[in-house]
């Protein structure tokens, strides 16, 4: 660690993770989706990272839910059950949207609908560990505009 300056260490542990950029096709689609649905961020990120990412990228959520606040990690059924409790929804009224099967599969087991959005570069140039969507997902979309179209939402 001595090879890194204090500035370097701060850049690694704070600046970089708190400066995440979202996919460019997402903010506009999120805005359109919010006109028809409750859109909540349910993430493993800390609340501070969600806040910083939302501010940096102009994202406006109806709710922000983090495993940090729930006290249960994603893929545990209790985490998805807590989300439905907080949102006052039944599991079948919820749709988890993600680009990785492990989260969607757990949401599906908890009674959620699921939407897989392809993001071939999500995990870097090596590609995702599970690039092919589980055929059990309710929606498979090539990108966020495609997801919106499949939900019957026209994007400007």
Structure tokens at 143: 């990108």
How many folded domains does the chain comprise? 1
4 within domain boundaries:
no
10 within domain boundaries:
no
- What string of DSSP letters covers 76-118? SHHHHHHHHHHHT--GGG-EEEES-HHHHHHHHHTT-EEEEE-
121 within domain boundaries:
yes
- Domain enclosing residue 145, as ranges: 19-150
75 within domain boundaries:
yes
**Domain containing residue 134: CATH number:** 3.40.50.1000
What's the pLDDT at 12? 60
Write the pLDDT tens digit of every residue in 108-119.
Answer: 999 999 999 998
Write the pLDDT tens digit of every residue in 24-43.
Answer: 999 999 999 999 999 999 99
73 within domain boundaries:
yes
Percentage with pLDDT > 90 across the chain: 71
Write b or e for each residue in 47-67: b if 16 or more Cβ atoms lie within 10 A of its Cβ, otherwise e.
eebbebbbeebebeeeebbbb
* pTM for the predicted model, two decimal places: 0.85
59 within domain boundaries:
yes
């Amino acid at each position: 660690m001595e090879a890194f300056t204090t500035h370097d260490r701060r850049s690694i542990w704070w600046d970089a993770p708190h400066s995440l950029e979202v996919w460019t096709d997402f903010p506009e689609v999120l805005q359109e989706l919010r006109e028809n649905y409750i859109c909540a961020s349910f993430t493993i990120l800390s609340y501070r990272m969600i806040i910083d990412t939302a501010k940096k990228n102009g994202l406006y959520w109806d709710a922000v839910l983090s495993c940090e606040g729930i006290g249960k990690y994603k893929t545990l059924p209790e985490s998805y059950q807590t989300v439905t409790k907080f949102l006052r929804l039944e599991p079948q009224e919820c749709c988890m949207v993600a680009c990785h099967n492990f989260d969607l599969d757990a949401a599906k087991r908890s009674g959620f609908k699921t939407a897989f959005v392809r993001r071939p570069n999500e995990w870097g140039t090596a590609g995702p560990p599970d690039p092919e969507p589980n055929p059990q997902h309710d929606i498979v979309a090539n990108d966020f505009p495609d997801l919106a179209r499949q939900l019957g939402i026209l994007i400007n």
